[in-house]
A = this chain, B = another copy of it.
């Protein structure tokens, strides 16, 4: 039977919870007196539908049913869990819990509160043991963290049930063992927020400068390792204890406005270093460095794909060198004998290209071919600007032979031979080389298309002239071994 959650309060946070439950197959009943609530949740759902399923490699469950209700009692009917995300006013929260527990005694209630302790929330309730904190981070449908914080009134079973529900919707429930205001995440956010406001108020930095200082530096680190694992690495080969010895004393330096600090003594060093060993001691520092680097490469690559933040810096850095690179390719086209395949790609096999066998995954051979053909097109004047103006070469048909294996870190290059060409199409044969080994060949037919009409048309004269020159120069090359094959055809 489909499980049901009630969502009380349908703002950015409540909407995010609703999306997470719905997309994980739960039915959701919403109560929010805001007449705009339905529209707002629809907007969050539209975002979530684009994003959350794209993280799954297994088909998602059938989306649950979303209903809106005029009363708290109706919304909670049949629900096994309630997520409360109303404004941060304790009396309002108490009122909501009273109505929930009257309509549905025994229902489990998790609160999205940013700062109230469970024992504050439970005050005055006839069933305090069923009220607990489940504090998420925006966007709730993507970020996995849910801080689970109970009071002594919550039996272990309630905590465990909350944990199971969080896991069922793909979250990472972090059980906070001691009740504190604001839990863990928000205490850090609060510290950073105050520091940032001081810098702004004192005119030291603008919001832009502060954001850049975060996302170009430590922000990237923190998406994959936290504070302590990061500093363990910073200690170098000597690890956490060395880091503490080196940087511990600076604790007292008058850098920021807020100065109350724990006493820096052996006890504190032992505590931190001991816990850090328990956390990360299964890896050497060298291993942690490699893990960190691969994660950072993944992040930076993701940002580069989107031309955003640190990825924009990478793109601009490429652009500075790309001009010289393409000028060089162009010059080679024009001055070389040209009766030889053209080197149109060279690069490194990236961590994200590796399959579980440790080899470059088969679709990446095709990817490298595409990169090489893109470079060729750019060189003959059919690059981004040409596409923007409405024409493009589309791949119609491709044949790939896998002859060897490229591995992580290998330098791979692509040599392009044009087998035939006319004004509307060309057929290419690309050898993918690692050192002197041909690891794959890719034969491909590309058609020149007017994109708006989806019709094959002749290429622009200046593009065709360059392509024709290459095709003529290559006409004397022998037909490569393996060209013209169908899959499984005898040799």
Contacts and interface: CB of A to CB of B under 8 A. Distances in A.
Interface in A296-328: 296-306, 308-310, 313-314, 317-318, 320-322, 325
Interface stretch (A43-51, A66-74, A76-84): A43-51
A59 interface: yes
28 contacts: A47-B293, A50-B408, A51-B297, A55-B304, A58-B325, A88-B250, A144-B310, A174-B213, A177-B209, A184-B205, A187-B199, A188-B218, A191-B194, A194-B258, A197-B262, A207-B228, A207-B275, A208-B275, A211-B225, A211-B227, A215-B224, A219-B226, A222-B223, A295-B308, A298-B303, A361-B370, A363-B367, A427-B488
A64 interface: no
Given A11-B236, A138-B233, A200-B272, 15 more contacts: A55-B301, A58-B322, A177-B205, A181-B253, A185-B213, A188-B196, A191-B194, A191-B258, A206-B275, A215-B223, A222-B222, A258-B258, A291-B306, A305-B351, A443-B487
A298 B290 contact: no
A242 to B, nearest CB: 10
A184 B256 CA distance: 10
Interface string A333-353: 000000000000011101110
Contact of A207 (B276, B296, B347): B276
Nearest to A409: B50
A112 to B, nearest CB: 13
A486 interface: yes
A139 interface: yes
A139 B217 CA distance: 9
Contacts of A297: 51, 54-55, 142
A232 B396 CA distance: 45
Q: How many copies does the complex hold?
A: 2
A102 interface: no
A485 interface: yes
Contacts of A206: 275, 278-279
A212 interface: yes
A14 B488 CA distance: 55
A56 interface: yes
Contacts of A215: 222-226
Nearest to A60: B321
Contacts of A364: 363
A35 B190 CA distance: 44
Contacts of A54: 297, 301, 347-348, 350-351
A448 interface: no
Contacts of A305: 298, 351-352
B228 A210 contact: yes
A457 to B, nearest CB: 16
A57 B378 CA distance: 14
Interface stretch (A1-9, A121-129, A399-407, A472-480): A399-407
A251 B50 CA distance: 35
Nearest to A324: B58
A294 interface: yes
Interface stretch (A90-98, A152-160, A387-395, A431-439): A387-395
Contacts of A296: 51, 139, 142-143
Interface in A373-426: 384, 387, 392, 394-402, 408-409, 420
A13 B382 CA distance: 43
Contacts of A409: 49-50
Contacts of A138: 233-234
B223 A220 contact: yes
Contacts of A200: 268, 271-272, 275
Interface in A121-178: 137-139, 142-145, 147, 167, 170-172, 174, 176-178
The 10 A-B residue pairs whose C-beta atoms are closest, nearest first, are: A298-B302, A211-B226, A219-B222, A258-B258, A145-B217, A145-B216, A363-B367, A214-B226, A184-B213, A207-B228
